[in-house]
Structure 1
Amino acid sequence: MSPFDSTRIATAVAKAFHAVEGADAAGSQRVRELVADLTSQVEEKLRRQAGPDRGVHIEQIQDQVELVLMRGGHHKVARAYVLYREEHAKARSAEVVPVRPALTVRYPDGRVAPLDEERLALVVEEACAGLPATSAETVLAETRRNLYDGITRAELALAPVMAARTMVEIDPDYSLVSARLLLDRLRREALTFLAGKDDEANHAEMSARYPEYFADFVRRGIELGQLEPRLAEFDLARLGAALLPDRDLAFQFLGMQVLYDRYFLHSDEHRYELPQAFFMRVAMGLALREDDREARAVEFYELLSSFDFMCSTPTLFNAGTTRPQLSSCFLTTVDDDLQGIFHGISNNALLSKFAGGLGNDWTPVRGIGAHIKGTNGKSQGVVPFLKIANDTAVAVNQGGKRKGAVCAYLETWHIDVEEFLDLRKNTGDERRRTHDMNTANWVPDEFMRRVGSGGDWTLFSPDEVPDLHDLFGDAFAARYREYEAAADRGGIKVFRRVKAADMWRRMLTMLFETGHPWITFKDPCNLRSPQQHSGVVHSSNLCTEITLNTNLEEVAVCNLGSVNLARHTGPDGIDSARLERTVRTAVRMLDNVIDVNYYTIPEARRANMRHRPVGLGLMGFQDALFAQRIPMGSTAAVEFADRSMEEISYHAISASADLAEERGAYESYEGSLWSRGILPFDSIALLADTRGADLELDRSSTLDWAPVRERVLAVGMRNSNVMAIAPTATIANICGVNQSIEPLYRNLYVKSNMSGDFTVVNPDLIRDLKARGLWDEVMVSDLKYYDGSLSPIERIPADLKALYATAFELDSKWLVEAGARRQKWIDQAQSLNLYIDQPSGRKLDELYQLAWLRGLKTTYYLRSQSATHVEKSTLRGTDGKLNAVSPVTPVAPAVTAPVVVESAGAAVCSIIDPDCEACQ
């Protein structure tokens, strides 16, 4: 750490220009002025970050130089500078380090003690143990460069973490090192809090202390009123002995930081929950009503701590606590009167308070110009109430853990649909805009047929067509035509006629421009619903994977969790035996959620107890493809999506049937498709009967489904719905895999969320590049320059370019085809994002027409490349705000790259949006 010298900065920049443009050009007046300007920019940024009294590390200076060069468009010069700094880094490392005076550490109580160099070295060595690509000496050297005499204890704990994370771009294993070093900080914090005095332990010591710590943790959590008192009734010694401390070492830095910031229990910002205690606490919370609670808790713990399966975020937040609101998603229908509207908004607030994502069906609310009997006036339509719902979601932010989130659904025939399309625009009357609310079109098949035929489309106010919202399939189409005829006769007052193709074009235009409203399909959601005998699916949820019935008396609830497919797949394909064990235990865990859950409104309890729906999904699909060397954009990937989902479906339905035999079938089972021997795969025929030629879907299967069908008919189902694929935005980070069914976003980028900015490097790619002798500093620079894409880098072999193609290099038709294969096995839906590199009206039309033709129930975000702006810089020294770790107000890090900083058309959610992690 030393004051920076602007002349040295100018010299380095000038040398970089010299290397690229030659001596004559580098000495020109133009370049001299340019160097002076760039140096001034660097100096100003460093002064803002460092403040007047603190030195600056040389890596920070070099990071800023590279950033300013890249921002200025001097990409070749920046690359030359990368080589320059690498040479000088090697020279610095070869220098003889002078003997430093002994340093002291300042503790929170004011005392000062010598720095324990031996313990610092031990902790770093432990963090690097078993990771041959990492170097404890390098991490220690970088750590020591950032130490100063009188450093606070909190800053000392942060220093090695910061040092290790700057090296993630050198090798992904440094992410594991960073996580382990952060864990050391957490151990000290937790042990000191429980002991009431200064206490610490390295990993080896903690392995012996974990059982004793665990019992103390449970007792203290109960004393603080945070843990359910019944947890003390468990055999804590038995559970403590079952903990596996070495699993603490499996976390990536992003996963550990997210857990630290938002998941681990704390009191007055002092964390006292360690990772294995966290998983056991969740397991105990889900086993409270089991006959052999300890055995089940250990079984559940094994599944969670191994990352084979992960519950959704609300379950992880609240299981085992005094407010166990464990459900992920809630779907409501809003009534068409003032009391009903504000009751719906009040329900949103109560549900959002304890970490639930919301989907609101607003179609019943009458439109603009409709008659209001009570005042003899005219309605202002649904939009003003959507604005109130939007602001409520912002106000109720789930205790600061995550922003409240809601999605409003409207059927395409609603008279206000055109204003609904404009809700997310950045122009127009702000009183009629909802910038924080997601929106989705609820599209009937009749509309899609008219788009294809070039026909007209009629918009109605729901108060004049009251039964239309509850109809689907042929019944909807017939009744809709009757209302059109009535309008022509003058029997309906409020209506408007448009060209269906014009409406479709506007829907796609707004989807591209604002990311909303999403396109979801009403008829396949209902025609394939197992519960069509007991109601209607009026909308999906916040993330478009839940398709459950709603009405004024029942708020649909879904309880989510995801199988980590990467943990069940190897080079030879799926480990079927392991997958079966995981799925069976996971379904039991999800069913238990329903019984131990804390319900904030009676309508949610009523629906959940009657129907008992759960949503078992998956994550790590891309990682599973990497394990088999299968490119995402291939027939083999589509086939794997089909076969893997078939296996999950087979075991999930079987597990629910087994639970029905043990615990009884769900209350509304009789009359369901299940009770008629119609499994999700069989329900395709119901959609085909209505669609005819407008459904083109592969119907192949590989497993013998007859025994499952017979089993369900014999004993019933414990759950009305069993499967749904959620985005898994955060739980995938915890497990260190790619989200959900997402394609690879980038091979090298920065992910932003509420815990900060984190370097994400594709470890599979790095292993392959190292094996072929291609991983070096220039490759890192090229990856940053090309936004994590391999295709423009000439020296990378074609097979690696195909295997590691990123989302925007992939034709999204492959994602639709894979999604369609999965959908045939799923009784609910899937959060399916679509990517398009160079959007056009024709491409969007073809893509969404294909989604409808393949029988998809829903789609999620459309992510487009053209409106995405990236800034490129080194990742060293800028990754992760560590805002919960550092006792000092965090300095805004330099923008790192490739990181999306604006994305008007590329509306982003689960990958990089800091706020949108509502489902998982």
Structure 2
Amino acid sequence: MLTQNTTPAADPRRAPPQPTASTAEFAATAPGAIKVIRRNGKLTGFDAQKINVAMTKAFLAVEGGAAAASAAMRAKVEALTQQVVSGLTRHLAGGGTLHIEDIQDQVELALMRGGEHKVARAYVLYRDEQARKRAAEAATQPAATHPTISVKLDDGTSIGLDEARMHRLVTEACAGLTGVDVEEVVKAALRDLYDGIPEAELSQALTLAARARIEKEPNYTYVSARLLGDALRHEALKFLGLPETRPTAEEMKAVYPDYFRAYIHKAVELELLDPKLALYDLDALGKALLAERDGQFDYLGLQTLYDRYFIHSNKTRFELPQAFFMRVAMGLAINEIDREARAVEFYTLLSSFDFMSSTPTLFNSGTLRPQLSSCYLTQVPDDLHGIFGAIHDNAMLSKFAGGLGNDWTPVRGMGGWIKGTNGKSNGVVPFLKVANDTCVAVNQGGKRKGALCAYLETWHRDIEEFLELRKNTGDDRRRTHDMNTANWVPDLFMKRVVEEGQWTLFSPDETPDLHDLVGDAFEKQYTEYERLADEGRMKNAKRIPAIQLWRKMLGMLFETGHPWITFKDPCNLRSPQQHVGVVHSSNLCTEITLNTKAGQEIAVCNLGSVNLPAHIGADGALDIAKIEKTVTTAMRMLDNVIEYNYYSVATARNSNLRHRPVGLGVMGFNDALYKKRMAYESDDAIQFADESMEAISYYAIKASADLAIERGAYSSFKGSLWDQGILPIDSIKLLRDARGGEQYLKQDTSASGRFDWDTLRTQIQTTGIRNSNTMAIAPTATIANITGVSQSIEPTYQNLYVKSNLSGEFTVVNEYLVNDLKGLGLWDEVMAHDLKYFDGSVQQIDRIPPELKQIYKCAFEIDAKRLVDAGSRRQKWIDQAQSLNLYMAQPSGKKLDELYKHAWVSGLKTTYYLRTMGATHAEKTTIQDNRLNAVGNGSSGGIAAKPASAAPAAAPKPMQAAPAPEMELPTLEAGTGSAKVCSILDPDCEACQ
């Protein structure tokens, strides 16, 4: 098959893919209705075994005949074949067709993703050679006549192929885009047609023809989305029984109003939407729809909406994009006085992509159960009724698409006395296992997996067992593989780590007040309990060197990605609501910091995000006037959620109506830097993080203060930091004073001088503020996909990669990079292949200028401390927190220690995932040694302190400290897997948005 016969050196670091089923089994289970279109237009049956044979030949051509007897090679080919078959057939469960070229494209992709670059290169060369041979043969043959193709309509009748309409659709889809070719798409689609093709497959052929070209020209993502829109229109209009079911995008402008009226009435009839929506002036709202905005989606965005958001009946989607945005807007405006005008205002903002509500709001607004809130925070009490009541609350909240954060610190530790039975407690871990399994059993409305994060404070007696919950080894009854975990770390512990002091673990049944204390009050009471422990008056305590526990925290974070590290004192000392409660935990994604109290208050937060690059002007400057307009409307929408929201738990409703917290965030930060020509690591970028967040902070607070004039302040306003004239930027002083000055808090407190903060303080003290909390930066995992921007405040993961999520696999290309390369005449097929080879990195591509290499660094190429620096600048303006992922290509014990101490000293309230690079990726890019880590499922090994001898359940008198172990640097052998990046590569991790 191939002529090249070089044998690569064995690579012990590359573990072969592990097969889970044989190719024969795959072939047997593959949909029998799938046909393959040959190059001559004839159809043959799909046969997975042929893929296996072709790939085996490719390996033999590179590795030599001796490889034929290799069990490792056969297993590798088997696994790669399964990947190819899965990728080809995942959307063809009901049958369909594949072109031979598409199959070969998938083979090439699987080889590249599997790290078999020499085999992939040989395979590409072979395909090119065969293509040249076919072209030479075709040149000597008489021109072939174009075959007659009939199309089978939905009603079973057949008509001739309408090529003129195909050209019209593709011409519309390419309008206004550079670098795309109408004829190329049509020609490629015609290649995939056959006589008698169903009209659904005809539409799909056009979409896939454009989609296949995305990695060579990013603008084809918009072409693909617009062609997908043709199929969506047909499906929806046909379901509603409208006379015109095949309008083009241009023709749809006239159809949208009639469609919208029919859609609302049908959805109400099917009990999918609230009947109150039918009472709106549907004619006025239909005329307000902007049909041309259907054309601004990229392919991933529109496909995501179709798969997961659009209203459907028996899997038939009859909600189109502009109707979707208007439906969401109508729900949010349902209690407004002039509800039509407000609905149009909200719709206009959403459909512009300048702001996007969070996923639960998009899912459920306007429905019979409008659960629109993203996050719920609960506290678990220390009794069986309370524990299982909290687990029941988890189930009910998860059912209606809420992400959960549980505070488990009040539950007594292992060995604690149980008064009712005079026995000893098994601690918190067994209950966490039940919570984990409940989260799996009750997913989020059947639309995405249940999501939960458990928090435990660092002084808890069970903290060492808690750290190991996500390990893949040990007693599985003491593991929670599906639940996130996070450390709730008091400042005193960090000071003891820095000072290399001792740390004492207590059971909360003996120290119940510690959980509610912060700052100096916590330190005084904690040291008093230590004194009592030294006197032998604490029955269930254990003392260890603080640095030993710190190293284990970092070790588990390195090995398993959990528990995350979040800081108790900044969350509380800077909380506007510290006068009425305590922040005991954050949420699923570590950006919400609200008070909780078992049996009384479940904290709730409603989220939405400003599209930052949409607010960068043509001159590269931040458009302050547009920010004000967007934020003002967005805050009204978020506030409207609170009354309109469906609450499945009464304590959540009571808490939300009392405090009215919301969380306005941002997305597309890295895209905004591209528009401003700034590198993420640069001082200019750090300054932009500061200035952009100040603008959003000012207008979010002002909008809430203005709403208070119109609607009244939230009921627990009196006594809050707001009431005292202390804004988020001012509360940094409270934290600095509690830590004892600059030694433990190095956070910038400067302002730009562009905003009148003094007048705003006076207004709030005079007339109040509508919301106890106004800002939080969430991951924006899915809504960033919908709007086509980079996620949240994340650096770009890779400049070219294949993204997998619940909607399938999508090629993602950095459009900003491609446009820059086009401007320099550097974008071509070779450059696209180079990007694929180097996993989307530009650093080793010689042709790319140094200034572009700085701007287009990928996440693992950026100094993680600069991510913290940018986060610190944003944090000073935010009354809640931010989901801040940290990336490290070459982790070590020293680097992790420095990074997380830097995060604490920089005033961060929370951190999110620690991401480290998989071995095979590191080997190809910038890392030359084996000290690599693969955080995620299946990872083993990592950083760990040498185990200390177990301490007795009862503390000695006086209490003795265990010796501090010598720290082992993290040296995980390469080859344990690839990086698992939240919401980027993990199909199941969609976070709270």
TM-score, length-scaled by structure 2: 0.85
Contact 1:16 1:80 in 2 (8 A): no
- For residue 910 of structure 1, what is the amino acid of its counterpart? S
Residues 614, 226 of structure 1: alpha-carbon distance in 2 compared, 3 angstrom cutoff: same
User: What secondary structure is seen at the aligned counterpart in 2 of 1:380?
Assistant: coil
Tell me the residue number matched to 1:742.
794
CA-CA distance at 1:86 after TM superposition: 5.3
Matches within 5 A, 1:86-235: 98-195=144-241, 199-235=245-281
Residues 765, 13 of structure 1: alpha-carbon distance in 2 compared, 3 angstrom cutoff: farther
Matches within 5 A, 1:264-413: 264-413=310-459
Greater relative contact order structure (CA < 8 Å, 6+ sep): 1
CA-CA distance at 1:68 after TM superposition: 6.6
Contact 2:493 2:546 in 1 (8 A): yes
Residues 911, 715 of structure 1: alpha-carbon distance in 2 compared, 3 angstrom cutoff: same
Tell me the residue number matched to 2:860.
808
CA distance in 2, matches of 1:11, 1:333: 57
Contact 1:515 1:904 in 2 (8 A): no
- For residue 614 of structure 2, what is the amino acid of its counterpart? R
CA distance in 2, matches of 1:311, 1:45: 35
Tell me the residue number matched to 2:839.
787
Tell me the residue number matched to 1:893.
none
- For residue 451 of structure 2, what is the amino acid of its counterpart? A
Tell me the residue number matched to 2:563.
517
CA distance in 2, matches of 1:262, 1:54: 22
- For residue 468 of structure 1, what is the amino acid of its counterpart? L
Moved more, 600-609 or 37-46: 37-46
Matches within 5 A, 1:722-741: 722-741=774-793
Tell me the residue number matched to 2:850.
798
- Whether 1:843 and 2:895 are equivalent positions in the alignment is yes
Tell me the residue number matched to 1:60.
102
Residues 695, 749 of structure 1: alpha-carbon distance in 2 compared, 3 angstrom cutoff: same
Tell me the residue number matched to 1:865.
917
Contact 1:555 1:604 in 2 (8 A): yes
Contact 1:404 1:918 in 2 (8 A): no
CA-CA distance at 1:218 after TM superposition: 1.1
CA distance in 2, matches of 1:47, 1:644: 46
Residues 620, 784 of structure 1: alpha-carbon distance in 2 compared, 3 angstrom cutoff: same
The match for 1:607 among 646, 655, 676 is: 655
Residues 904, 587 of structure 1: alpha-carbon distance in 2 compared, 3 angstrom cutoff: farther
Contact 1:869 1:902 in 2 (8 A): no
Tell me the residue number matched to 2:958.
none
Residues 455, 574 of structure 1: alpha-carbon distance in 2 compared, 3 angstrom cutoff: same
CA distance in 1, matches of 2:323, 2:768: 36
CA-CA distance at 1:777 after TM superposition: 1.5
CA-CA distance at 1:870 after TM superposition: 9.2
Contact 1:515 1:905 in 2 (8 A): no
- For residue 623 of structure 1, what is the amino acid of its counterpart? D
CA-CA distance at 1:196 after TM superposition: 6.7
The match for 2:752 among 668, 685, 702 is: 702
CA-CA distance at 1:61 after TM superposition: 4.6
CA distance in 2, matches of 1:225, 1:54: 33
Contact 2:780 2:792 in 1 (8 A): yes
Matches within 5 A, 1:685-724: 685-691=733-739, 692=741, 693-703=743-753, 704-724=756-776
Tell me the residue number matched to 1:818.
870
CA-CA distance at 1:112 after TM superposition: 3.1
- Whether 1:667 and 2:709 are equivalent positions in the alignment is no
Tell me the residue number matched to 2:626.
578
User: What secondary structure is seen at the aligned counterpart in 2 of 1:261?
Assistant: helix
CA distance in 2, matches of 1:112, 1:77: 45
Contact 2:409 2:455 in 1 (8 A): yes
- For residue 62 of structure 1, what is the amino acid of its counterpart? Q
Moved more, 779-788 or 658-667: 779-788
Contact 1:330 1:359 in 2 (8 A): yes
Contact 1:514 1:905 in 2 (8 A): no
CA-CA distance at 1:198 after TM superposition: 7.8
Contact 1:515 1:906 in 2 (8 A): no
Tell me the residue number matched to 1:566.
613
CA distance in 2, matches of 1:730, 1:536: 31
Residues 33, 642 of structure 1: alpha-carbon distance in 2 compared, 3 angstrom cutoff: same
CA distance in 1, matches of 2:135, 2:466: 61
Contact 2:918 2:975 in 1 (8 A): no
Contact 2:98 2:192 in 1 (8 A): no
Contact 1:514 1:904 in 2 (8 A): no
CA distance in 1, matches of 2:50, 2:613: 51
- For residue 564 of structure 1, what is the amino acid of its counterpart? N
- For residue 700 of structure 1, what is the amino acid of its counterpart? S
CA-CA distance at 1:555 after TM superposition: 0.3
- Whether 1:485 and 2:531 are equivalent positions in the alignment is yes
The match for 2:478 among 422, 425, 432 is: 432
Contact 1:358 1:407 in 2 (8 A): yes
CA-CA distance at 1:411 after TM superposition: 0.1
Moved more, 101-110 or 756-765: 101-110
Tell me the residue number matched to 1:908.
981
Q: Which ranges in structure 1 are unaligned for 5 or more consecutive residues?
A: 873-900
Tell me the residue number matched to 2:546.
500
Q: Deviations over 1:304-331 (max 9, x none)?
A: 0000000000000111111110001000
CA distance in 2, matches of 1:341, 1:585: 40
CA-CA distance at 1:101 after TM superposition: 2.5
Q: Deviations over 1:867-887 (max 9, x none)?
A: 576999xxxxxxxxxxxxxxx
Residues 63, 533 of structure 1: alpha-carbon distance in 2 compared, 3 angstrom cutoff: same
CA-CA distance at 1:913 after TM superposition: 1.5
Residues 282, 774 of structure 1: alpha-carbon distance in 2 compared, 3 angstrom cutoff: same
CA-CA distance at 1:128 after TM superposition: 1.5
Q: Deviations over 1:876-918 (max 9, x none)?
A: xxxxxxxxxxxxxxxxxxxxxxxxx998794531222211213
Tell me the residue number matched to 1:828.
880
- For residue 271 of structure 1, what is the amino acid of its counterpart? R
CA distance in 2, matches of 1:301, 1:777: 41
CA-CA distance at 1:158 after TM superposition: 1.4
CA-CA distance at 1:63 after TM superposition: 2.4
- For residue 632 of structure 1, what is the amino acid of its counterpart? Y
Tell me the residue number matched to 1:895.
none
CA distance in 2, matches of 1:225, 1:245: 26
Q: CA RMSD in A?
A: 2.9
TM-score, length-scaled by structure 1: 0.91
Contact 1:512 1:906 in 2 (8 A): no
Percent identity over paired residues: 63
Residues 98, 16 of structure 1: alpha-carbon distance in 2 compared, 3 angstrom cutoff: farther
Q: Which ranges in structure 2 are unaligned for 5 or more consecutive residues?
A: 1-36, 39-43, 925-973
Q: Deviations over 1:396-424 (max 9, x none)?
A: 11232100100000000000111100000
Moved more, 227-236 or 92-101: 92-101
- For residue 615 of structure 2, what is the amino acid of its counterpart? H
Tell me the residue number matched to 1:898.
none
- For residue 246 of structure 1, what is the amino acid of its counterpart? E
Contact 1:783 1:790 in 2 (8 A): yes
CA-CA distance at 1:752 after TM superposition: 1.0
- Whether 1:541 and 2:587 are equivalent positions in the alignment is yes
CA distance in 1, matches of 2:615, 2:113: 43
User: What secondary structure is seen at the aligned counterpart in 1 of 2:425?
Assistant: strand
Residues 407, 39 of structure 1: alpha-carbon distance in 2 compared, 3 angstrom cutoff: closer
Contact 1:839 1:866 in 2 (8 A): no
User: What secondary structure is seen at the aligned counterpart in 2 of 1:291?
Assistant: coil
CA-CA distance at 1:701 after TM superposition: 0.3
Residues 919, 666 of structure 1: alpha-carbon distance in 2 compared, 3 angstrom cutoff: same
Contact 2:256 2:286 in 1 (8 A): yes
CA distance in 2, matches of 1:413, 1:38: 48
Residues 81, 138 of structure 1: alpha-carbon distance in 2 compared, 3 angstrom cutoff: same
